Amino acid sequence: MSAADTTLAFDASCKIFVDGGCGFQSPGLHSFIFKPMFEIGGFEFNKPILLALLTTGLLCLFFWKAFASPKVVPGKLQMVAESGYDFVRRGIVYETIGKKEGEKWVPLLVSLFFFIWLMNLWSIIPLAQFPVTSIIAFPAALAGVVYVTWMTLTFKRHGFVGGLKNLTGYDKSLGAVLPLVMLIEFFSNVLVRPFTHAVRLFANMFAGHLLLVMFTVATWFFMNSWGFAYAPVAFVLVMVMIVFELFIQAVQAYVFVVLSASYISGALEEAH
Per residue in 206-248, pLDDT (tens digit) is 999 998 888 888 787 777 666 667 778 878 888 988 999 999 9
Other beta carbons less than 10 A from residue 11's beta carbon: 8
What DSSP element (H or E) covers 165?
helix 137-168
**Mean pLDDT across 246-260:** 96
Kindly indicate the confidence band of residue 14, based on its pLDDT and cuts at 50, 70 and 90.
Answer: low
pLDDT for residue 47 is more than 60: yes
Q: Is the dihedral of CA 109, 112, 118, 121 positive or negative?
A: negative
Phi-psi group of 98: left, alpha or beta (phi > 0 → left; psi -120 to 50 → alpha; rest → beta) = left
Given a cut of 60, is residue 86 above it in pLDDT? yes
Q: Give 129's DSSP letter.
A: -
For 64-79, what is the mean pLDDT? 87
Using an 8 Å Cβ cutoff, are 16 and 23 in contact?
Answer: yes
Contact 219, 234 (CB under 8 A): yes
**Residues 187, 203: contact at Cβ < 8 Å?**
no
The helix/strand/coil state of 39 is strand
Residue 16 scores a pLDDT above 70: no
Residues 13/23, Cβ–Cβ less than 8 Å: no
Confidence tier at 92 by pLDDT (50, 70, 90): very high
Q: At 96, which amino acid appears? A: T
Contacts of 143 (CB under 8 A, 6+ apart): 194, 197, 198, 201
**What local confidence, expressed as pLDDT, does residue 23 receive?**
58
Range(s) of the domain holding residue 125? 3-268
Least confident of 116-120, 137-141, 145-149, 236-240: 236-240
How far apart are alpha carbons 157 and 163 in whole angstroms?
8
Number of C-beta neighbours around residue 54 at 10 A: 15
**Ramachandran quadrant class, 18 (left: phi over 0; alpha: psi -120 to 50; beta: rest):** beta
Write down the pLDDT at residue 25: 65
- pLDDT, residue 116, reads 97
**What pLDDT is stored for residue 10 in this prediction?**
43
Instruction: State the average pLDDT for the chain.
Output: 86
**Amino acid code (one letter) for 194:** P
Mean pLDDT for the stretch of residues 180-209: 93
Instruction: Quote the pTM value.
Output: 0.86
Q: How many domains does the chain have?
A: 1
